[in-house]
Amino acid sequence: MAMLDRVEQRQPGVLDRLRVDALAEVQTWPDVQVRLVDETPSTAVGCSVAGSYNDETQPPTLCVAVSASPGRRQFTALHELGHHLQNTDTDLGTRILMAADDRFEDDACDLFAARVLLPDAVVSGCLGDQTPTAGDIVALYRKSSASRAACVVRAAEHLASFGAVALYDADGAVSFATAKGIYPPARGSDQSRTALVAAALRDPRRADGAAFTADSTTIRYRSGHSSDPLYGQAAWCDGYLIAVLVTDHAPWQTFSPPRPGVPAQRQPTEAECEVCGNLFEVAGLCATCSEPRCPSGHCTCTLKRERRCERCMLTYGLAMFPAGGTVCRDCL
């Protein structure tokens, strides 16, 4: 909400213009630029969307994947604009630094983008006070001009229990996902063998909005582990599959109480950090890459954007290493 306030303070009415065409509006701002780029493989980025924010250019650049649909490009542009707000506003930046959740920054950008594209007046007509069904989310998509990803984010706000809302492509790979209280499936991960997605893939011609349900399905993580059993419902939406996965209180079930789950495989108790080299006890997995995070906050995500200086042996962001070298600026 603070991010929305900052934008509206910039110029009254700008949120309405962003809702109509975010790319066109942002391109008129002198303090930021927009660049359309080829979409990178989903495993190569930590961001939840097909884009990135580059603050090393003047002015900073919002990179948006050109291969995405027009609606998804709008969502991505707004998500990256959210990162720009966080990086240029002291109050917002402080909130990011103080957040205990490693997904806070990205989740805030997702929610900022979704709320610009889907204001409460639009959402309230499709989503009620309880967990939405997959059909409810399809109806929201049809009623608005927002992307499926934006609809997924607004739907996740209405989850009445722990769970996730996910968008899969026609092969069962995750295009976008967000969660509450559990780890969401990583973007690009293959979910085609999970019970709910497998059932939907067997009937790809079912009418949009017509539901598939599973009394027990899972999320498959890249680490090879599976989530605890979840109640699931999915529906096709213009060639994509929208799914709602919850631990309890599934509105499509007559009775859906909480139930203990049994992981498919015991998680490792110890791991070695590939960034700082320390051996640590595994307390949880990164919500983005599904790999163990060490006490210093490192995981596969940070491995891609951090490096240890070969002289001082301290770990810094890649920007601290001129010309892609292995010696930091402070040691040169």
Same domain, 13 and 91: yes
Any domain includes 57: yes
Any domain includes 306: yes
Same domain, 220 and 137: yes
Domain end (from 114, 146, 178): 114
Any domain includes 32: yes
What domain count does the chain have? 3
Any domain includes 73: yes
Same domain, 87 and 14: yes
Domain end (from 246, 267, 297): 246
Q: What does the CA dihedral 197, 199, 202, 204 come to, rounded to 10 degrees?
A: -60
Task: List the one residue out of 192, 194, 156 whose CA is nearest residue 48.
Answer: 156
CATH number at residue 210: 3.30.450.20
Amino acid type, 33 = Q
Q: What does the block give as tokens for 37?
A: 């780029």
Same domain, 239 and 282: no
Same domain, 203 and 284: no
Any domain includes 269: no
Dist. CA 243–CA 253, nearest whole Å: 15
CATH number at residue 73: 1.10.10.2910
Burial class (CB in 10 A: 0-12, 13-18, 19+), 58: exposed
Same domain, 72 and 180: no
Same domain, 187 and 86: no
Same domain, 9 and 46: yes
Same domain, 138 and 237: yes
| Contact of 234 with 242, CB cutoff 8 Å | yes
Burial class (CB in 10 A: 0-12, 13-18, 19+), 258: exposed
Same domain, 53 and 87: yes
pLDDT tens, per residue, the chain with 332 residues:
999 999 999 888 999 999 999 999 999 999 999 999 887 655 444 566 678 899 889 999 999 988 778 898 999 999 999 999 999 999 998 888 888 777 889 999 999 999 999 999 889 889 988 899 999 999 999 999 899 999 999 999 999 999 999 999 999 999 999 999 888 998 899 999 999 999 999 999 999 999 999 999 999 998 888 999 999 999 999 999 999 999 999 999 999 998 764 443 344 566 667 666 666 767 666 656 667 777 777 776 666 566 777 777 677 666 677 766 778 877 87
Which residue range forms the structural domain that includes residue 323? 275-331
Any domain includes 121: no
Same domain, 110 and 142: no
Any domain includes 30: yes
Same domain, 97 and 172: no
**Element (DSSP H or E) covering residue 280:** strand 279-281
